[in-house]
């Protein structure tokens, strides 16, 4: 028996162990066996004389589905992809099947119907009324093994979020293959690492944080920086001053944004797509600023918006062993399903907060993967997944062979809302309407793959607007964290709390002492209160003046903080007011997949009015 590296467990008994077998031990032992792919199994459904041809979607007909060794390959798809042929050559030898049957022979397996307890299971015997083990006998079997390993120790079904902690010797630096040559020269001792799962700035020889080099990121991802020309064009075409987040460079890079502006100018349809992985129940400003920005964009363009809540992703990709175990404890969960349900619940809670960012109900569809996937959407997931290979995914996300297969597959799911025909209640069958996706730069790898696959599928490539990470209160090197109360302003914080947090936790770019500040001035560029203010303050002249006086030392750090506090209190209060109006009914309306949404571009005059009310 061979074990995969992750399931290596010193306490595991060998397969031939003579302890009584229970469903738990059998499942556990099977899960540890490295089965070869089923070589000799051939589908011959159509040829079987004894079975009616199965209808699509129905389960396999009992006696015809699989038979060993038939000559009919049942192969309808032409030559197999090279990668599969290669994998077969490597992994599937006759000797492996022999080994396997030898192992199975020592396992003393009960007959299938005996694996199940009374009234359980779908074995033919159980269906025919044979109840298998009697209730009495069943009670005598020791049940302590019945809980699958993964449930007893949720630890074992996950991986560390921070790969370098789990596998210290291995650096999994994800590189997009065709862009390798774009990695610029660097002088860091440790390179920055940006993936959808890890954000770490570079570190120099002395261990000093170098922060995140966004220019390097843009170069590496092959995106374009948002230029002043592009912003000018935005303003000319939409009649709107770019949002402070665009103007001041938080949204700093893009892919094909000019195509969207072309379409807007010509009155051609497009839509917005964004999303969130629900990883905590309390959302903070860092989570919601991108949504507030998207709500603003929606009003400026007056277009449909789809919001994907990826509860599936967060369940599959939570690689922090301890976090997941703690969460399991907190929810008093017993099985993985309990945990999955918890993610679904967080998704619903997050949706309320997201709605409170101010989206247009009549043009917005919010959906949660675990509740909504099916139909045309799932068609596209399948199409998408066939365009991706495991090596694509490994190259782009830095996954390894010991990561779960759901992680590999998830990229197809995040890609799918980029295709308009995934949403028949909005776009019908039209697949030629491009999406504009505002997202943080760490999400770009998903959409790089999506853009590549869009060509293969005959769909439109999505266009993107990338944002930088919003700094934690403590400074710009990492993201705000929901698990660190003082790292962020939460949308539930009251005015007093905001005041206290900014006053005592916000990193200041001011002088070390008051005298020092008055003499030498401060640096607004690294001053967190100044930066937070700049996300929301529309008045450029005011921002310019604050920066100038700060540099001159005439504006104190406390004064700067108080400017920030006033603005954040205003934004959070507005949010809280809208949040209190989000009833269950409203939440349902946003998620109703049968509600028709008009995809036609509105007249520009209407769009402009909608936008004024958004400002």
CA 599 to chain centroid: 26
CA 446 to chain centroid: 9
Whole-number minimum distance, CB 275 to ligand TRP, in Å? 3
Burial status of residue 294 (CB atoms within 10 A of its CB: 0-12, 13-18, 19 or more) = buried
Is 467 among the residues that bind ligand TRP (CB under 6 A)?
A: no
Which residue in the set 149, 311, 312, 313 belongs to the binding site for ligand TRP (CB under 6 A)?
313
Pairing of strands 209-211, 202-203: antiparallel
Choice between 308 and 324, CB closer to ligand TRP: 308
CA distance 3 to 98: 17
Whole-number minimum distance, CB 313 to ligand TRP, in Å? 6
Choice between 311 and 563, CB closer to ligand TRP: 311
Is 174 among the residues that bind ligand TRP (CB under 6 A)?
A: no
CA distance 484 to 412: 32
Report the 10 Å Cβ neighbour count for 162: 14
What residue ranges in 416-559 does DSSP mark as E strands?
435-440, 463-467, 471-472, 475-479
Is 565 among the residues that bind ligand TRP (CB under 6 A)?
A: no
Whole-number minimum distance, CB 447 to ligand TRP, in Å? 8
CB 347 within 8 A of CB 311: yes
Using CB under 6 A, which of the segments 9-17, 435-443, 497-505, 599-607 binds ligand TRP? 435-443
Choice between 414 and 534, CB closer to ligand TRP: 414
Q: What share of the chain is helix, strand, coil (3-state, %, to 5)?
A: 50, 10, 40
Whole-number minimum distance, CB 446 to ligand TRP, in Å? 7
- As a whole number of Å, the CA-based R_g of the chain is 28
Choice between 423 and 550, CB closer to ligand TRP: 423
Whole-number minimum distance, CB 262 to ligand TRP, in Å? 22
- 82's CB contacts (< 8 A; 6+ apart) are none
CA distance 583 to 330: 27
Of 104-143, binders to ligand TRP (CB under 6 A) are none
- 553's CB contacts (< 8 A; 6+ apart) are 511, 517, 518, 519, 520, 521, 522
Choice between 123 and 348, CB closer to ligand TRP: 348
For ligand TRP, which residue has the nearest CB?
A: 275
CA distance 570 to 573: 5
Segment 536-539 long-range contacts (CB within 8 Å, at least 24 positions apart)? 536/244, 536/567, 536/568, 536/571, 537/244, 537/567, 538/241, 538/244, 538/615
Using CB under 6 A, which of the segments 88-96, 240-248, 305-313, 342-350 binds ligand TRP? 305-313
Which residue in the set 328, 437, 441, 568 belongs to the binding site for ligand TRP (CB under 6 A)?
437
Is 461 among the residues that bind ligand TRP (CB under 6 A)?
A: no
Report the 10 Å Cβ neighbour count for 434: 23
Choice between 435 and 564, CB closer to ligand TRP: 435
Is 463 among the residues that bind ligand TRP (CB under 6 A)?
A: no
Whole-number minimum distance, CB 288 to ligand TRP, in Å? 12
CA angle 455-458-461, nearest 5°?
50
**Of residues 271, 601, 298, the one with CA closest to residue 462:** 271
Choice between 197 and 530, CB closer to ligand TRP: 197
- Please work out the total of residues on this chain that contact ligand TRP, with binding judged by CB under 6 A: 13
Is 350 among the residues that bind ligand TRP (CB under 6 A)?
A: no
Whole-number minimum distance, CB 417 to ligand TRP, in Å? 7
Is 510 among the residues that bind ligand TRP (CB under 6 A)?
A: no
CA distance 313 to 307: 14
Is 450 among the residues that bind ligand TRP (CB under 6 A)?
A: no
CB 313 within 8 A of CB 277: yes
Choice between 242 and 277, CB closer to ligand TRP: 277
CA distance 117 to 102: 27
Whole-number minimum distance, CB 436 to ligand TRP, in Å? 11
Choice between 347 and 502, CB closer to ligand TRP: 347
Of 258-277, binders to ligand TRP (CB under 6 A) are 273-277
Whole-number minimum distance, CB 278 to ligand TRP, in Å? 8
Whole-number minimum distance, CB 571 to ligand TRP, in Å? 21
Is 310 among the residues that bind ligand TRP (CB under 6 A)?
A: yes
Is 308 among the residues that bind ligand TRP (CB under 6 A)?
A: yes
Using CB under 6 A, which of the segments 256-264, 436-444, 486-494, 571-579 binds ligand TRP? 436-444
Is 414 among the residues that bind ligand TRP (CB under 6 A)?
A: yes
Is 256 among the residues that bind ligand TRP (CB under 6 A)?
A: no
CB 419 within 8 A of CB 308: no
Which residue in the set 355, 439, 480, 491 belongs to the binding site for ligand TRP (CB under 6 A)?
439
What are the residues binding ligand TRP (CB under 6 A)? Answer: 196, 273-277, 308, 310, 313, 414, 437, 439, 443
């Amino acid at each position: 028996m061979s074990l995969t590296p992750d399931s290596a467990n010193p306490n595991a008994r060998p397969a031939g162990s003579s302890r009584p077998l229970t469903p738990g031990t059998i499942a556990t032992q099977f899960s540890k066996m490295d089965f070869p792919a089923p070589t000799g199994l051939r589908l011959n459904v159509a040829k079987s004389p004894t079975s009616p041809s199965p209808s699509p979607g129905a389960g396999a007909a009992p006696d015809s589905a699989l038979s060993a060794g038939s000559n009919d390959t049942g192969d309808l798809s032409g030559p197999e992809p090279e990668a599969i042929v290669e994998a077969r050559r490597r992994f599937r030898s006759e000797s492996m099947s022999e080994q396997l049957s030898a192992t199975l022979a020592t396992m003393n397996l009960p007959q299938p119907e005996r694996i199940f307890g009374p009234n359980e299971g779908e074995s033919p015997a159980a269906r025919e009324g044979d109840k298998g083990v009697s209730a009495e006998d069943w009670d005598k079997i020791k049940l302590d093994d019945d809980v699958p390993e993964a449930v007893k120790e949720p630890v074992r079904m996950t991986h560390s979020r921070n790969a370098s902690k789990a596998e210290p010797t291995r650096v999994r630096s994800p590189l997009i293959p065709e862009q390798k040559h774009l990695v610029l020269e660097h002088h860091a001792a440790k390179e920055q690492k940006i993936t959808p799962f890890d954000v770490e700035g570079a570190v120099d020889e002395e261990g000093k944080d170098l922060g995140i080099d966004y220019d390097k990121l843009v170069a590496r991802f092959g995106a374009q920086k948002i230029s002043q020309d592009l912003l000018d064009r935005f303003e000319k075409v939409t009649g709107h001053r770019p949002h402070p987040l665009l103007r001041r460079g938080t949204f700093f890079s893009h892919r094909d944004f000019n195509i969207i502006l072309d379409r807007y100018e010509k009155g051609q349809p497009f839509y917005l797509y964004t999303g969130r992985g629900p990883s905590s129940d309390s959302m903070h400003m860092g989570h919601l600023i991108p949504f507030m920005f998207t709500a603003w964009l929606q009003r400026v363009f007056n277009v449909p918006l789809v919001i994907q809540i990826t509860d599936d992703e967060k369940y599959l990709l939570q690689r922090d062993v301890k976090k997941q175990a703690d969460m399991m404890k907190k929810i008093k969960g017993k099985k993985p399903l309990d945990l999955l349900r918890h993610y679904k619940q967080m998704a619903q809670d997050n949706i309320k907060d997201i709605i409170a960012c101010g989206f247009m109900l009549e043009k917005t569809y919010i959906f949660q993967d675990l509740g909504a996937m099916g139909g045309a959407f799932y068609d596209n997931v399948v199409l998408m997944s066939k365009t991706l290979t495991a090596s694509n995914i490994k190259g782009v996300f830095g996954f390894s062979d010991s990561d779960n297969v759901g992680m590999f597959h998830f990229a197809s799911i995040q890609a799918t809302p980029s295709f308009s025909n995934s949403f028949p209640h909005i776009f019908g069958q039209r697949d030629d309407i491009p999406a504009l996706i505002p997202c943080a730069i760490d999400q770009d790898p998903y959409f790089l793959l999506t853009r590549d696959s869009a060509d293969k599928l005959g769909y439109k490539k999505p266009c993107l607007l990338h944002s930088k990470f919003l700094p934690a209160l403590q400074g710009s090197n990492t993201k705000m964290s929901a698990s660190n109360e003082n790292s962020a302003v939460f949308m539930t914080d009251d005015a007093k709390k905001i005041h206290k947090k900014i006053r005592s936790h916000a990193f200041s770019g001011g002088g070390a002492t008051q005298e020092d500040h008055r003499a030498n001035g401060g640096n607004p560029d690294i001053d967190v209160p100044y930066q937070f203010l700049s996300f929301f303050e529309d008045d450029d002249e005011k921002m310019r003046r604050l920066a100038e006086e700060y540099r001159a030392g005439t504006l104190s750090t406390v004064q700067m903080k108080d400017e920030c506090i006033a603005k954040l209190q205003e934004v959070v209060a507005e949010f809280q007011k809208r949040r209190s109006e989000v009833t269950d009914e409203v939440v349902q309306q946003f998620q109703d997949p049968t509600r028709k949404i008009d995809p036609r571009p509105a007249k520009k005059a209407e769009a402009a009015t909608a936008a004024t009310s958004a400002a």
